[in-house]
Amino acid sequence: MKRILMPLVVAAMALAMVACGTKTTKTDKDMNTLTFTTKQAAAMTVIACNEARGDQSSLAGAIHEGFEAGLTANQMKEALSQLYAYTGFPRSLNALGTLQKVMEQRGDVDMGPESSPLPHGYDALKQGTEVQTRLSGQPFNYDFCPAEDYYLKAHLFGDIFARDVLTYADRELVTVSALSGLEDVMPQLQAHVRGALNMGVTDEQLAAIPIALKAAGLEAEALRCEAAIAAVNGSPQVVSPSSFPLGQPNDAYAQYFIGQSYLAVLDTVSGLCNVTFEPCCRNNWHIHHHAVQVLVCVSGRGWYQEWGKEPVELKPGTVVTVPAGTKHWHGAAADSWMQHLAYFTAQQPGFRNEWLEPVDDKQYSKL
């Protein structure tokens, strides 16, 4: 009689727990292993990067590729939802809207499993602190802003990372791929490259991210990712801070610059070049005789100054026309890289550059 009653009692208890809304324990899924196949990982990489770039047309195509590779709708929902913490709600919501449209167009998508229920009494702050410590490789406390520290631990690494539709390794692949699509976040990108390795992503799987980005035509994003991986591996490389090519070290003119600059010739006929300045880098005072120079700032922040006049701040979109025979200099701000396009117009016979004295350090430090 006892043998008959025991299963009935267990079943009755289970039904009572469901009726009362009590959550069962979480499944024992290995959260420190990448679950995507090679093809799925490549598709998810391109999806996450295009979410960060805000390119809905390319994202739609990547989502179609994701479904063809065997990714489920819930995996993509989870990735795009998570990314609000890294790219903001607007991009995340736009991307989810694109996913919804693609699903409506296809009609026959695999939704995939939902997230497993969390244990009763789940402590998001405690769990998130443990996850963040593993990801960082050491305890991390953002004492400068305790509220942000709590959001990171309890919400991002607690509430979000606890959802096992994606593993920790899956989520870090998504994060690295997305951050590769953003300019000026290299410290965070490098941190998450390390985090991906700490969470079980292998070196080979990590190296496949820029390969997938290049295959999708995302060259600048792939270079960013490669630079972050190289820095983490102890062999840092300089990467363009924007979609414009970095080019080569500007060694031919190094004697006329303070700091390192890079030169990329974009068009040999017009002489259009992209010049990249590292922080604090600037050229000497100089004069272009018998030609007008045009500068178009495309990335970062810097300065342009004519002799006897106040400096002009260079920001993306700033256009400066340097009259022929005008003594001037230009370069990056002390705390920012800067890129500008440069070309000459109205060239006359006798065109030449005259290089003069360096910009005074005291004068520059006041900017």
Kindly report, residue by residue over 118-149, the tens digit of the pLDDT: 989 999 999 999 999 999 999 999 999 999 99
Burial 310-330 (b: 16+ CB within 10 A, else e): ebeebeeebebebebebebbb
Enter the pTM of the model: 0.71
Residue 295, pLDDT > 70, answer yes
Give the tokens for residue 19: 């009726």
Q: Which class does domain 38-115+163-232 fall in? A: mainly alpha
Per domain, the residue ranges of the chain are: 38-115+163-232, 248-361
In whole numbers, what is the pLDDT of the chain averaged over residues? 91
Give the tokens for residue 121: 């009494």
CATH architecture type of domain 248-361: Sandwich (2.60)
Mention every residue, 6+ apart, whose C-beta is less than 8 A from residue 224: 180, 186, 189, 239
How far from each other are the two terminal CA atoms of the chain, in whole angstroms? 89
Question: What is the model's pLDDT at position 25?
Answer: 39
Give the model's confidence band at 227: pLDDT under 50 very low, under 70 low, under 90 confident, else very high: confident
Smallest Cα–Cα separation from 320: which of 291, 301, 292?
Answer: 292
Question: What is the model's pLDDT at position 219?
Answer: 85
